[in-house]
């Protein structure tokens, strides 16, 4: 068990990540004086990651996970071994900036109902753009589709200060998320059966169903390379996108909504598959079919998880749920930016 002397553990899950640690770990360690300890959790790397960190960063604590069962499981195993008031889950391909940490910490200390929060996330390779996974905070529409401020489907905005606020969101990016450790463990942590992709949204949804808030803190800025584990647009990404989105609905959605929403998503996902088929992308069509088949095959397991989650529901906090269809607004009404939606999220206290 690693017991942190400061109240926050910044936990970096690493798999063959030496190149990222060479680039980004010096700044993370430098900024640790602002109030956190750094821990690298090695997810059964096959390179010299662990040795490199131990030899070059003596202040960084390390732990090793024997077998790599994916991103979610890596954190699931690592956080069982770390004692701190707060965790910051930070992917290895993130660059932090000066004073990135204090605004997040201050937000958490100010509001005990704030269970988790994320910084502003920009793209490392084009530094004026928001980054695909997280951007200016995560939201969900009425049909269970996820999107971000600063990134809706294929349109990524330039950061021009339009999202320089602190607001409630529906989910915070798992690439850089600060959370209360007691709530993390109380809610069961990340679901390691999701493997990768949307596991942080699942946890945020469980926290929201228990009445807690999820936040976005604009004064904290980080940069993300992105696609270093599962590349954007890859068949693997598409599979987890469709499969895990359905699983999240099964686990967390209200029964009164799930009874009609789940069949509707079958139809909508089928239309997406047909569109891919007619454009000649047969492989991706079969990936969607495969994702649905695997959800139905394991339906009993997901319904069991749903029943477990029901025990933790108190007062559902539905801030961050868009009351319209983001698919309709984006593709039919051509609303390409979050500001086009005419919707103002609730400010954090």
Query: Do 63 and 2 contact (CB within 8 A), yes or no?
Result: yes
| Structural domain boundaries, residue 43 | 1-92
CA distances from 148 to 2, 22, 120 (A): 34, 30, 11
Q: How deeply is 336 buried, as exposed, middle or buried, from its count of CB atoms within 10 A (0-12, 13-18, 19+)?
A: middle
Last residue of a domain, one of 67, 92, 117: 92
pLDDT at position 275 is: 87
pLDDT at position 277 is: 86
Instruction: Let me know if residue 35 belongs to a domain.
Output: yes
Q: Is the dihedral of CA 332, 336, 342, 344 positive or negative?
A: positive
Per-residue pLDDT of the chain (349 residues; tens, 9 = 90+): 999 999 999 999 999 999 999 999 999 999 999 999 999 999 999 999 999 999 999 999 999 999 998 888 999 999 999 999 999 999 999 999 999 999 999 999 999 999 999 999 999 999 999 999 899 999 999 999 999 999 999 899 999 999 999 999 999 999 999 999 999 999 999 999 998 789 999 999 999 999 999 999 999 999 999 865 555 567 888 999 999 999 999 999 999 999 999 999 999 999 999 988 888 888 999 999 999 999 999 999 999 999 999 999 999 999 999 999 999 999 999 999 999 999 999 999 8
Q: Which of 181, 186, 171 is nearest to 37 (CA)?
A: 181
H-run or E-run covering 98: none
Q: How many CB atoms lie within 10 A of CB 277?
A: 14
Q: Which of 111, 112, 105 is nearest to 37 (CA)?
A: 105
Last residue of a domain, one of 92, 109, 131: 92
What is the Cα–Cα distance from 152 to 169, expressed in whole angstroms?
15
Beta bridge partners of 158: 129
CATH number at residue 57: 3.90.550.10
Instruction: Let me know if residue 155 belongs to a domain.
Output: no
Query: Do 86 and 178 contact (CB within 8 A), yes or no?
Result: yes
Residue 31, helix vs strand vs coil: helix
Instruction: Let me know if residue 172 belongs to a domain.
Output: no
Q: Which of 169, 140, 148 is nearest to 319 (CA)?
A: 169
Instruction: Let me know if residue 161 belongs to a domain.
Output: no
Strand segments (E) across the chain:
2-3, 8-14, 37-43, 61-65, 82-83, 86-90, 94-96, 114-123, 138-141, 146-148, 151-152, 155-156, 166-169, 176-180, 213-224, 321-322
What is the Cα–Cα distance from 206 to 209, expressed in whole angstroms?
5
Instruction: Let me know if residue 251 belongs to a domain.
Output: yes
Q: How deeply is 300 buried, as exposed, middle or buried, from its count of CB atoms within 10 A (0-12, 13-18, 19+)?
A: exposed
DSSP class of 155:
E
- As for how many domains the chain has, the answer is 2
**First vs last Cα of the chain: how many Å apart?**
35
Q: Which two tokens stand for residue 118?
A: 């994320």
Beta bridge partners of 23: none
Instruction: Let me know if residue 97 belongs to a domain.
Output: no
pLDDT at position 19 is: 96
Instruction: Let me know if residue 198 belongs to a domain.
Output: no
Q: How many CB atoms lie within 10 A of CB 200?
A: 27
Instruction: Let me know if residue 151 belongs to a domain.
Output: no
Global model pTM greater than 0.85: yes
Beta bridge partners of 225: none
Q: What share of the chain is helix, strand, coil (3-state, %, to 5)?
A: 40, 25, 35
């Amino acid at each position: 068990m690693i017991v942190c002397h400061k109240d926050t553990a910044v936990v970096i899950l690493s798999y063959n990540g030496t190149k990222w640690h060479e680039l980004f770990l010096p700044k993370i360690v430098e900024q640790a004086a602002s109030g956190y300890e750094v821990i690298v959790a090695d997810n059964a790397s096959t390179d010299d990651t662990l040795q490199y960190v131990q030899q070059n960063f003596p202040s960084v604590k390390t732990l090793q996970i024997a077998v790599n069962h994916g991103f979610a499981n890596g954190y699931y195993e690592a956080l069982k071994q770390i004692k701190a008031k707060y965790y910051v889950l930070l992917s290895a391909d993130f660059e932090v900036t000066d004073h990135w940490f204090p605004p997040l910490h201050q937000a958490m200390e100010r509001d005990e109902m704030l269970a988790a929060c994320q910084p502003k996330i920009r793209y490392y390779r084009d530094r004026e753009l928001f980054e695909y996974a997280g951007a200016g905070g995560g939201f969900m529409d009425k049909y269970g589709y996820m999107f971000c401020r600063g990134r809706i489907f294929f349109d990524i905005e330039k950061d021009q200060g339009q999202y320089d606020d602190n607001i409630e969101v529906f989910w915070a990016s798992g690439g850089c998320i600060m959370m209360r450790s007691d709530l993390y463990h109380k809610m069961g942590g990340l679901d390691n059966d999701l493997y990768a992709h949307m596991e942080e949204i699942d946890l945020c949804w469980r926290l929201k169903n228990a009445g807690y808030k999820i936040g976005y803190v604009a004064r904290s800025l980080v940069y993300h390379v992105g696609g270093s584990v599962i590349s954007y647009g890859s068949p693997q990404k598409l599979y987890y996108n469709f499969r895990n989105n359905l699983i999240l609905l099964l686990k967390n959605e209200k029964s009164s909504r799930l009874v009609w929403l789940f069949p509707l998503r079958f139809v909508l996902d089928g239309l997406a598959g047909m569109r891919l088929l007619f454009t000649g992308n047969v492989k991706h069509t079969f990936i969607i079919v495969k994702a649905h088949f695997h959800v139905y095959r394991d339906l009993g397991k997901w319904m069991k998880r749903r029943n477990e989650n029901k025990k933790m529901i108190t007062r559902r906090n539905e801030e961050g749920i868009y009351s319209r269809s983001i698919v309709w607004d984006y593709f039919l009404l051509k609303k390409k930016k979050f500001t086009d939606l005419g919707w103002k999220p609730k400010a954090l206290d």
